[in-house]
């Protein structure tokens, strides 16, 4: 009997030791979990703070662009030619680009040849460009008459799209994705070159991107060279009338925050409020980085 008791006591102590070890392991796991959650919360809060700083910087970049556009001195005024301007503000950097909406293809006014030329430059063949251009025309016009290669409600219904053709002007260029036959790849390719704000059937040759100039029907190499030469000299931009612009401000902070603001602005002619804001959006794009720019 005396021998049995020490053996039993040793077993009990062994079990107790195992239980203590398991408790310690469990406590360690709980502590590690709390530590991980704490770190995640801290990182999340830091990221939110940095992104908020970047948003404020981007908005400041848009405001600075307004001042630059109002500058009466041609030597220092900011131009709507897509050239990047870099600003060092607060705890980060902002790169601002201004584009003249008149130098783009207006989805509500552009004639069919202009639409076809742009779509072919985006990678569509002649037949595909003709079909999609007619579909865009049918989507925006108020009637229900079917163009030769277009699409009205019956074609949308046959494709399983209940909404059908809008039969009204585009309110936003993103509505292109609702046009029958439009793909994401084609939309992404033409997105920088289309607008709903210019109100013009013609493209402003003095401010249009070179890519877009090359898509214009009947544009001769000599005409293109002349336009580009005047633009390089700054003479064409000095004469250009710019009423509606899109300002794109890409901001990054030293702490890793990033934000892109894209705003469409229209000159109002009022002294107290010189610009009317037509749109104010966040552009979702990763990896926004400052580029080589002209500082003002």
Q: What is the pLDDT of residues 143-167, one digit of tens each?
A: 888 888 899 999 999 999 988 999 9
Non-local (6+) Cβ contacts of 189 within 8 A are: 122, 123
CATH class of 107-182: mainly alpha
What residues does each domain of the chain span?
A: 1-38, 49-104+203-296, 107-182
Q: How far apart are CA 158 and CA 105, in angstroms?
A: 30
Q: Mean pLDDT across the stretch 76-105?
A: 92
Residue 43: per-residue pLDDT: 63
- Average pLDDT, rounded, for the chain: 85
Q: What is the pLDDT of residues 225-269, one digit of tens each?
A: 988 888 777 655 555 568 899 999 999 999 989 999 999 999 988
Residue 289: per-residue pLDDT: 41
Percent of the chain scoring above 70 in pLDDT: 85
pTM across the whole model: 0.74
Q: Higher-confidence residue: 155 or 39?
A: 155
Say yes or no to pLDDT of 295 above 50.
no
Q: How far apart are CA 177 and CA 241, in angstroms?
A: 31
Q: Mean pLDDT across the stretch 75-83?
A: 87
Residue 77: per-residue pLDDT: 87
Q: Higher-confidence residue: 49 or 293?
A: 49
Q: How far apart are CA 55 and CA 77, in angstroms?
A: 25
Burial of 25 (0-12, 13-18, 19+ CB in 10 A): exposed
């Amino acid at each position: 009997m005396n021998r049995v008791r020490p053996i039993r006591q040793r077993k009990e102590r062994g079990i107790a030791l195992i239980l203590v070890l398991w408790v310690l392991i469990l406590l360690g796991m709980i502590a590690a979990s709390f530590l991980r959650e704490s770190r995640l919360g801290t990182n999340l809060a830091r990221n939110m703070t940095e992104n908020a700083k970047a948003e404020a910087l981007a908005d400041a970049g848009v405001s600075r662009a307004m001042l630059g556009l109002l500058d009466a001195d041609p030597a220092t005024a900011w131009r709507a030619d897509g050239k990047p301007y870099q600003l060092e503000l607060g705890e980060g950097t902002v790169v601002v680009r201004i584009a003249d909406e008149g130098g783009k293809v207006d989805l509500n006014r552009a004639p069919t040849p202009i639409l076809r030329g742009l779509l072919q430059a985006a990678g569509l063949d002649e037949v595909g460009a003709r079909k999609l251009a007619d579909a865009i025309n049918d989507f925006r016009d108020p009637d229900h008459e079917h163009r030769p290669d277009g699409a009205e409600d019956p074609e949308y219904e046959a494709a399983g799209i209940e909404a059908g053709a809008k039969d009204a002007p585009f309110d936003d260029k993103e509505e292109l994705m609702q046009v029958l036959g439009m793909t994401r790849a084609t939309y992404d390719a033409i997105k920088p070159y289309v607008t709903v704000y210019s109100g013009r059937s013609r493209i402003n040759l003095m401010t249009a991107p070179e890519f877009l100039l090359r898509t214009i029907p009947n544009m001769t190499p000599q005409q293109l060279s002349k336009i580009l030469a005047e633009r390089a000299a700054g003479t064409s931009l000095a004469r250009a009338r710019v009423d509606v612009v899109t300002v794109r401000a890409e901001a990054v902070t030293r702490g890793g925050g990033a934000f892109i603001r894209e705003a469409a602005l229209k000159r109002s002619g009022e002294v107290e409020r010189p610009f009317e804001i037509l749109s104010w959006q966040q552009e979702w794009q990763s990896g926004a980085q400052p580029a080589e720019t002209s500082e003002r």
